[in-house]
């Protein structure tokens, strides 16, 4: 299984949120197959996207895995009114 989970920060500590998904390896492989298609569609719409590159062209998983300029937004999500919220504030239902 591949587990993808939203995390949020409390007092400098990252904690797992309620939102997430667990995928069988077969579904994860299917997602990886369609990533280039989705990337091209986004680029066609004028959205800049990074490219996943495996170090040395192999499957060793080394390196940072992203080619090009990809900015870390620190989990900031822009609301429709233009106000910025941390991702955990905008999407997490966690208490405290």
Instruction: For 15-57, write each residue's pLDDT tens digit.
Output: 999 999 999 999 999 999 999 899 999 999 999 888 777 665 5
pLDDT of residue 49: 83
Closest by CA to 92, choosing from 5, 2, 27, is: 5
Domain parsing of the chain, residue ranges: 2-91
Q: What SS3 string covers 25-72?
A: HHHHHHHHHHHHHHHHHHHHCCCCCCEECCHHHCCCCCCCCEECCCCC
Q: What's the rounded Cα separation, in Å, for the pair 86 and 95?
A: 15
Distances (CA, A) of 73 to 1, 61, 77: 28, 23, 8
Give the model confidence (pLDDT) of 56-72 as tens digits. 555 444 444 545 443 44
Q: Is the pLDDT of residue 76 over 70?
A: no
pLDDT of residue 3: 94
Please determine, looking at this structure, whether the domain spanning 2-91 carries the CATH number 2.30.31: yes
pTM of the model: 0.48
């Amino acid at each position: 299984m591949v587990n993808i989970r939203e995390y949020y920060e409390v007092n400098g500590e990252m904690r797992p949120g309620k939102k997430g998904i667990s995928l069988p390896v077969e579904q994860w492989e299917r997602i990886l197959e369609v990533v280039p298609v989705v990337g091209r569609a986004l680029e066609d719409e004028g959205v800049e996207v990074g490219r996943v590159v495996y170090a040395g062209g192999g499957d060793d998983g080394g390196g940072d895995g992203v080619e090009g300029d990809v900015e870390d937004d620190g989990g900031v999500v822009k609301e429709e009114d233009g106000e910025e919220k941390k991702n955990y504030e905008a999407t997490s239902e966690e208490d405290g």
